[in-house]
């Protein structure tokens, strides 16, 4: 096993995922670290309801387990997001521009 395993502390964090990431029908293509430190992992699609029924809380460790590439962006700072166009594409990190967070 790798000595670089994510810290238990990070794996215990709660994160928000969309229904597609939860049922693993789509890969994670968008990860957001909110200003309060919460993680959001989504498929990047624009077909989500803006209601709480589309979003679920799971341990961050599960997200990493389902999508190991997400481990590449665990260094994301608060207020940053990482996006990729496909699972084979590199992550592109940018500052959150939304003013309503």
By CB under 5 A, name the binding residues for Zn ion: 18, 20, 43, 45
Give least dist CB 22 to Zn ion, A.
9
Distance CA 84, CA 22 (A): 18
Nearer to Zn ion by C-beta: 5 or 89? Answer: 89
Q: How far is the CB of 93 from Zn ion (least distance, A)?
A: 20
* Residue closer to Zn ion (CB basis): 23 or 72: 23
> How far is residue 55's CA from residue 20's CA, in Å, rounded to a whole number?
9
Q: Do the beta carbons of residue 70 and residue 31 sit within 8 Å?
A: yes
CB of 23 to Zn ion, least distance (A): 9
Residue 93 dihedral angles phi and psi, to the nearest 5°: -95, 135
């Amino acid at each position: 096993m790798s000595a670089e395993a994510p810290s238990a502390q990070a794996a215990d964090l709660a994160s928000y995922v969309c229904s597609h990431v939860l049922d693993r029908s789509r890969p994670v293509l968008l990860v957001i670290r909110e200003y309060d430190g919460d993680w959001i992992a989504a498929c990047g699609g624009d077909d989500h309801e803006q209601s709480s029924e589309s979003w679920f809380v799971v341990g961050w460790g599960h997200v990493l387990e389902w999508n190991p590439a997400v481990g590449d962006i665990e260094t994301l700072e608060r207020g940053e997001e990482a996006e990729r166009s496909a699972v084979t594409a590199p992550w592109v990190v940018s500052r959150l521009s939304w003013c309503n967070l």
